[in-house]
Structure 1
Amino acid sequence: MRLHPGEPEATGWRAMSVPDVIGRLRAAAPDVRERPLVVAIDGRGGAGKTTLAQWLRAAVPGSAVVHTDDVAWAHACFDWGALLAGHVLGPLHRGEAVDYRPDAWRVHGRAGSITVPAGADTVWVEGTGIIRRELARSLAASIWLQGDLDVQDRLLLARDGDSPGHLAQVESWMREELPFLLQERPWAHATMIVAGPPPAGSEPGDGLLVADPVRS
């Protein structure tokens, strides 16, 4: 398996149902009482973050998903922690609804906003770079999706294409992703590691492969 430089390969994989994964995340989280349980889902592009977030949202009635790509859109690859903390995580921790339209959306004419209704049971925040020291106090639990980078690259190519413009964007992204992940080491700080991406045609009922993070 080809992994990021410095990322240890997880061992001791075991099958776990989606409800059991949710139970373990809740057990690892502090008492949140009147505010949502905020769970981070991290991994590089093509790891299956969006799919996993959809599965988890479907399994928890009243939960919601926030995509960090929406916060980062037309702003920065990774320098969006303060925006997420101030405009999304802050209101969630106060038990408030979220209705946030980033400045970049206004400048570039993107319609809509990032919304989470008040009273959400759980909020799944998915995106590369969400498990970071800057946000550690705002995240109740977290998942790192580990998988073969060659497989993930093929999935991204199939999804996004290989136009010169897109390849240039990917190259620019990788110049920031590699040092950022090596600095933050999300695989060492996650509550659990999940094997990704989910196999083609798999469904939530098939369960997940789960391992404990390596804390070295």
Structure 2
Amino acid sequence: MNAPIVLFIDIDKDDLPDNLEPDSTERSKNDEIVDNIAECLDRMAIGDWPTLHGTRGGDFRASLLERIEGLQAELSHLSGRNMELEQARSELTGRCGRLEKECVAKTEADLKASEEQCTSLTKLRNSLDSRCTGLKKNIDEQRCKFETSQKKLAKTETELYDMTKVLAEEKARTNKIQRKNNQLNAKINSLKSHISMSQNS
């Protein structure tokens, strides 16, 4: 019966936090306190309260009423804060919904752009692969032609070398024959001169 009295006497309004967070725990606590105070006042009204006389009783009642008014003011403040927080939560929920839609739309747009870019890059790669294949084929053909030309050139150089060698040999023979002809002509001229001198004598 006296436990509520001890509870209210020990609570000082100055000991309460300046900014009570309007969460469910604080609301439940203050609701419990107010309910206990109301119950005590009801008991006091029906006489179920320790007898308090004179100034002490009046002071206690005034202090008790003041505490109740303070708690009611705190509850009113917390209710206002709770409404503000509910409104802020509603605004944040709406904003989160809008942001989610924007993010989804942006993600879908980015994904579509990425897919289009991938398709374009795939086409470009296929085109480059085709061109590279064509260039490689052309290079291989040109290499084969070059190798064939090199072989022909080497063969021609060999033939030219052989022909030069033959020409040199033929020139040497011609020079030798020419020297012999010169020698024969000299002998013939000498014989002609000798015959002519013999006839004149």
Shorter-chain TM range is under 0.3
Of structures 1 and 2, the larger Rg is shown by 2
Q: Which has the higher contact order (CA 8 A, sep 6+)?
A: 1
Which structure has the highest strand share of the two?
1
Higher helix share: 2
